[in-house]
């Protein structure tokens, strides 16, 4: 961490899956000179993650989602087409 800080080369960075551990997230926000611009988390129709989205909003951190199509939790619903609709 000290190398990139001393060289002044980093202008933006992102973090991934720091939604589980509040202590780790707070440490990053307190100790980092370059604050995260993006947080990548599992987020989809079946796990909208509203609390973490509200938590990072004051920091100006954008959420980017993985598992957009719902994974196992969707039970394949997003891939099936029904003629009843």
Q: Within 13 Å, how many C-alpha atoms sit on residue 26's CB side?
A: 3
pLDDT in the model for residue 47: 83
- Side by side, the strands of the sheet bearing 62-66 are 13-16, 36-42, 62-66
d(CA 66, CA 43): 6
**What predicted TM-score, i.e. pTM, was given to this entire model?**
0.72
Instruction: Tell me the per-residue pLDDT of 49-82, one tens digit each, with 9 for 90 and over.
Output: 999 999 999 999 999 988 867 666 667 666 665 5
Q: What's the chain's length in residues?
A: 85
Q: What are phi and psi of 71, to 5 degrees?
A: 55, -150
Task: State the pLDDT confidence band at 42, using cuts at 50, 70 and 90.
Answer: confident
Query: For residue 79, with 0-12 CB atoms within 10 Å meaning exposed, 13-18 middle and 19 or more buried, which class applies?
Result: exposed
């Amino acid at each position: 961490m000290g190398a990139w800080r001393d060289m002044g080369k980093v202008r933006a960075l992102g973090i991934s899956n720091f939604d589980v551990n509040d202590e780790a997230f707070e440490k990053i926000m307190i100790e980092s000179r370059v604050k995260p611009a993006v947080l990548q988390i599992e987020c989809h129709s079946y796990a909208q993650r509203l609390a973490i989205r509200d938590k990072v909003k004051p920091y100006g951190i954008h959420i980017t989602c993985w598992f957009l199509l719902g994974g196992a939790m969707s039970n394949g619903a997003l891939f099936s087409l029904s003629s009843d609709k």
